[in-house]
Amino acid sequence: MASKKITIQYLDDSIPRLEYIGGKSDWVDLSAAETVTLRKGEFKLIHLGVAMKLPEGYEAHLAPRSSTFKNFKILQTNSVGVVDSSYCGKGDWWKMPVYATEDTTIEKGSRIAQFRIMEIQPTLEFEEGELADKDRGGFGSTGVK
């Protein structure tokens, strides 16, 4: 697969420079751009210190790192953030919307998020009709084991 170029604007020189570590992960880590202290039940948009111009025809998926909840007791409130290529202005800073499940402090530079880019889906055509296939049972119907 050919590499794609992403133009990155950093908030300041203290923000860790992004790097893709081939063979280790397909995702790129993002860090908190400020120290944030949250009380249990508090919501905050945590600044990630970057704004980006994605390649045309691509979007980014932003998710917490697997250790984020264990280390900081925060949940990303929108589950997965989707950033399309139109979000590329000078002030379009990436932020992570979080909810604190306990009192916590996230130190500046803590790796709390990760992203990857993917091609946007093809244009879809929707056709109204009645489905004739057999029901599978609905969400959550395949069992727990």
Residue 17 lies in a domain: no
Residue 2 lies in a domain: no
Residue 81 lies in a domain: yes
Please state, rounded to an integer, the average pLDDT across all residues of the chain. Answer: 93
Kindly state the tokens that stand for 58.
């691509």
Active-site annotation holder among 12, 26, 84, 135? 84
Residue 140 lies in a domain: no
Name the CA radius of gyration of the chain, rounded. Answer: 19
Tell me what pLDDT residue 64 has: 97
Residue 63 lies in a domain: yes
pLDDT tens-place string over residues 17-29: 998 776 677 899 9
CATH number at residue 51: 2.70.40.10
Residue 79 lies in a domain: yes
Residue 93 lies in a domain: yes
Residue 3 lies in a domain: no
pLDDT tens-place string over residues 64-108: 999 999 999 999 999 899 999 999 999 999 999 999 999 999 999
Kindly state the tokens that stand for 70.
């264990």
Q: How many domains does the chain have?
A: 1
135 labelled catalytic: no
Burial level of 101, CB count in 10 A (0-12/13-18/19+)?
Answer: middle
The domain of 94 spans 26-119
Q: How far apart are CA 87 and CA 89, in angstroms?
A: 6
Range scoring the smallest mean pLDDT among 10-19, 76-85, 115-124, 130-139: 130-139
Q: What is the pTM of this model?
A: 0.85
Q: How far apart are CA 101 and CA 71, in angstroms?
A: 12
Per the document, the length of the chain is 145
Q: How far apart are CA 103 and CA 9, in angstroms?
A: 31
Secondary structure of residue 69 in the 3-state scheme: helix
The backbone torsions φ and ψ at residue 58, rounded to the nearest 5 degrees and listed phi first, read -125, 155
Secondary structure of residue 70 in the 3-state scheme: helix
